[in-house]
Amino acid sequence: MATEESLQPEVLLIEPEAPALHYWRDLWRYRELLWFLVWRDVLVRYKQTAIGVLWSLLRPLLAMIAFTLVFGLFAKMPSGEAPYPLLVFAAMLPWNFFANALSESSGALIGNANLLTKVYFPRMIVPLSSVIASLLDFAISLGVMAAIMLWYGVFPTWRVLALPLFLLLACVAATGAGLWFSALNVKYRDFRYVVPFLLQFGLYVSPVGFASAVVPEKWRLFYALNPMVGVIDGFRWALLGLKVEVFWPGIVLSTFLSLLLLAGGLRFFRGTERTMADVI
Amino acid sequence: MSAPAISVRNVGKKYLLSHQPREQYTALRDVLSDGVAAFARRLRHPFAPGERADSVEEFWALQDVSFEIKQGERVGIIGRNGAGKSTLLKILSRITEPSTGSIRIRGKVASLLEVGTGFHPELTGRENIYLNGAILGMRREEIRRKFDEIVQFAEIEKFLDTPVKRYSSGMYVRLAFAVAAHLEPEILVVDEVLAVGDAQFQNKCLGKMEAVGREGRTVLFVSHNMGAINKLCDRAIWLESGQLLESSDTETVVQKYLSSAFLGQSTRQFPVKSDKAAQVLQVRLLNGEHQESTEFGLGEEPFVEVRYLLNHELTGIHVACIVTTVQGVHAFSTADTDTNPKFFEARPAGEYVSWVRLPMKDFNSGIYHVAIGIGIPGVQILDRQEALSFTLHDTGGFATLKEGARRAGLLVFEVPWHLREKP
């Protein structure tokens, strides 16, 4: 191998509390491993369940029907001008992605303990790969969304171009929370019970089954402290066109909080990373 | 003169041991309840000194270890179980950080602490080659280039698209090693991975490792197999309770290690570890009168008695006794299934005692070393202990040369010679 690298071998210094300087460079260098882990997660998920892809179609559809019946039909909640099933499904898209990504990534380090104790790589790759792998289920659901919109004759406007931005916001929130919980899970194993509880709780306090417009005006900003509120509002705004009103200060607050969550997650993860292999 | 490939300076690794018999990780529940208890104690005895330190003890797995390894050098690391070998490898492979000291490494490192790291049972052989390769640090393009070679080395062509959960354990191990064997780092760190597969495959692996060494790469190799260390390494480092005891040419260190570590002891006990499926409990060396001994005369045949424990029923295992010379040459080995294949059938859980006579009538004088292994031949080693050493003493018979020197050779035979009449 006559690459430049081997002509002048770089020097690796191993010390207690080594500076983080090389960490981000290493993360970049191990990007291929990141893709391999994503590829593995996807392959395994669709090989293990007999109905595979069908499962990721059915789950949001059934949830949509249930929410439409309970909130739309029985509780007669307002949906603005959009059909209730569309309102629900537009919210299920980011919420399911967030829930999948968070539950997968928070258990990812424990699930890959054998890797952590036998090979070196930036540990952050593991929860990141879980978040990325969850994007596949999201893509499938997005296809379902397109079909339902077609069925109702609702066509997206130019606003749909903003969808990737809101997806990115969901990724930021999921990654931030995923970093926190995956690292906490290594330290305190009972966090594996906390995450499912939080997600179940979150499904009801986030505006998934109803429009966030039902929240009283004076509580709107407070409500936006939940980062998924901004994401869900954004998805409805981008997909369903003019028919849904948006509370922009809330979206700004959600974005800010998601970024804060990510920054805190990165810091906390880096702090615990040194000792992970010793305690896992 | 090139700079050293690896230079280790005053490296130490500290672990905190909790005295409460608790799991390695913490549960938040425990932290909370401990906190509440401590708070309650504070309320009752506000001026008592804080507790905490007494339940945690420092343990230095490595202490003040320094050495240098030149580029292209092949170095073996030896030492008893718990001497700190694995900790050292983990630090060198960056899996865990040292607590003190520093290490400088020049060149790309690949470490093999286990074969088949990250193998997923649901994925096919082909998929696992790519996954495992990436985990070990190979680039995708590099794996693609070596793919055929890997498959050929593993001898699994026909099962390439079968999930590895359907592989026999032999195939699994061969595939795993094949991927690892095709790494091309400048520095290779290997932990005991040669202890897998059947004898033929092991030889193939050793050959591959030798080839790696000949290509001028730096190799760091941990093993209990003194023969392999002797064959592969130019130099050996001997660790004992976390400290470096000796670092010199392989033969000298191996000889010192084998003779000093166990000589004079005719019986050894091993602590019971409940996490092992099978384990050696006790090994004794006996003479013809069934008395414990480590000293035998030439032509005498020592007896080895092994007491072992199976924690649950096991099928297909054997108990083997491996005899090596003090230079680390594997003289011979014998297993309890050799003459009694019925032993391959299921053995119920429980304690067993078996003994064997070592057929060493024709062996030359010297120090010999006995290791005991329990395992599934060609597949897995369940337990292996470097047990005891004994000496065959020259008794002044024909094996002694006139000048009083020891006759050369591993074996000695008294063979009659005949003079042919001049033609």
CA distances for A87 relative to A153, A161, A202, A235, B214, angstroms: 14, 19, 18, 10, 68
User: Hey, what are B186's tokens?
Assistant: 């400048």
Q: Please give the Cα distance from A17 to A274 (Å, whole number).
A: 8
pLDDT at B126: 93
Which residues make beta-bridge pairs with B12? B100
Question: What are the tens digits of pLDDT across the range B258-293?
Answer: 766 556 678 888 888 777 889 999 999 998 888 888
**Do A66 and A58 touch, CB atoms closer than 8 A?**
no
Q: Does B141 touch chain A (CB under 8 A)?
A: no
- Give per-residue burial for B368-379: e unless 16+ CB within 10 Å, then b: bbbbbbbbbbbb
pLDDT tops 60 at residue A9: no
CA distances for A15 relative to B19, B104, B128, B368, angstroms: 28, 9, 33, 41
Q: Name, in order, each residue with C-beta under 8 angstroms of B50's C-beta and a sequence gap of 6 or more.
A: B38
**Do B258 and B267 touch, CB atoms closer than 8 A?**
no
Using CB atoms and an 8 Å cut-off, which of residues 4-43 of chain B contact chain A?
A: 15, 23-29, 31
Which helix H or strand E contains A147, and what residues bound it? helix A125-152
Task: DSSP letter for B347, please.
Answer: B
Which helix H or strand E contains A136, and what residues bound it? helix A125-152
Contact B139 A32 (CB under 8 A): yes
How high does pLDDT run on average in chain B? 83
Q: Please give the Cα distance from B208 to A5 (Å, whole number).
A: 25
Contact A190 B29 (CB under 8 A): yes
Chain B residues close to A9, C-beta within 8 Å: 106-108, 186
ipTM over 0.95: no
Q: Please give the Cα distance from A21 to A43 (Å, whole number).
A: 34
Contact B130 A36 (CB under 8 A): yes
Q: Please give the Cα distance from A106 to A193 (Å, whole number).
A: 11
Of A13, A36, A277, the CB nearest to B131: A36
Q: Give the CA angle between residues B96, B218, A21 to the nearest 5°.
A: 40
How high does pLDDT run on average in chain A? 85
* Inter-axis angle of helices A163-187 and A191-205, nearest 10: 150
**Do A178 and A131 touch, CB atoms closer than 8 A?**
yes
Contact A9 B102 (CB under 8 A): no
Contact A188 B28 (CB under 8 A): yes
B100 CA: distance to closest CA in chain A (Å): 6
A43 CA: distance to closest CA in chain B (Å): 8
Give which of A39, A178, A33, A19 is closest to A116, Cα–Cα.
A33
Give residue A28's identity as a one-letter amino acid code: W
Contact B25 A189 (CB under 8 A): yes
Helix (H) and strand (E) counts for chain A?
Answer: 13, 1
Question: What are the tens digits of pLDDT across the range A95-106?
Answer: 999 999 999 999
Say which range, A76-80, A192-196, B182-186, B236-240, has the weakest mean pLDDT: A76-80
Q: Please give the Cα distance from B356 to B13 (Å, whole number).
A: 42
Q: Please give the Cα distance from A180 to A160 (Å, whole number).
A: 31
Confidence category of residue B42, pLDDT binned at 50, 70, 90: low
Residue B279: CA count within 13 A, CB half-sphere? 11
Task: DSSP letter for B167, please.
Answer: S
Q: Please give the Cα distance from B14 to B60 (Å, whole number).
A: 4
Q: How many residues are recorded in chain B?
A: 423
Beta-carbon pairs below 8 A across chains A and B: 120
Stated pTM of the model = 0.75
At residue B136, the 3 state secondary structure works out as coil
Chain B residues close to A22, C-beta within 8 Å: none
Q: Please give the Cα distance from A270 to A124 (Å, whole number).
A: 8
Percent of all residues in chain B with a pLDDT value above 70, rounded to a whole number: 85
Burial of A147 (0-12, 13-18, 19+ CB in 10 A): exposed
pLDDT at B337: 92
**Do B348 and B310 touch, CB atoms closer than 8 A?**
yes
Question: What are the tens digits of pLDDT across the range A122-167?
Answer: 999 999 999 999 999 899 899 999 999 999 888 888 888 999 999 9
Contact B25 A186 (CB under 8 A): yes
Contact B108 A5 (CB under 8 A): yes
pLDDT tops 80 at residue A31: yes
Q: Please give the Cα distance from B334 to A17 (Å, whole number).
A: 49
Contact A33 B109 (CB under 8 A): no
**Do B212 and B219 touch, CB atoms closer than 8 A?**
yes
User: What is the signed CA dihedral for B150, B152, B158, B161, rounded to 10 degrees?
Assistant: 10
Question: What are the tens digits of pLDDT across the range A169-180?
Answer: 999 999 999 999
Over residues A209-234, the mean pLDDT reads: 85
pLDDT tops 50 at residue A256: yes
Contact B91 A277 (CB under 8 A): no
Confidence category of residue B401, pLDDT binned at 50, 70, 90: low
Interface test mutation site (partner A, options B96, B112, B136, B182, max chain A beta carbons within 10 A)? B96
pLDDT at A267: 92
pLDDT tops 50 at residue B51: no
Chain B residues close to A187, C-beta within 8 Å: 25-26
Over residues B100-111, the mean pLDDT reads: 88
Strand-strand pairing, B74-78 and B218-222: parallel
Mind giving me the DSSP string for B263-321? TT-SEEE----TT-SEEEEEEEEE-TTS-B-SEEETT---EEEEEEEESS-BSS-EEEE
Contact B92 A14 (CB under 8 A): yes
Q: Please give the Cα distance from B370 to B357 (Å, whole number).
A: 12
> Which residues of A sit within 8 Å Cβ distance of B?
1, 5-6, 9-18, 32-33, 36, 39-40, 43-44, 47-48, 112, 114-121, 186-191, 274-275, 277-280
Interface test mutation site (partner A, options B10, B87, B127, B129, max chain A beta carbons within 10 A)? B127
- Give per-residue burial for A35-50: e unless 16+ CB within 10 Å, then b: ebbbbbbbbbbeeeee
Q: Report long-range pairs for A247-254 (Cβ below 8 Å, ≥24 apart).
A: A247/A212, A247/A220, A249/A220, A249/A221, A249/A224, A250/A212, A250/A220, A250/A221, A250/A223, A250/A224, A251/A224, A253/A221, A253/A224, A253/A225, A254/A169, A254/A224, A254/A226, A254/A227, A254/A228, A254/A229, A254/A230
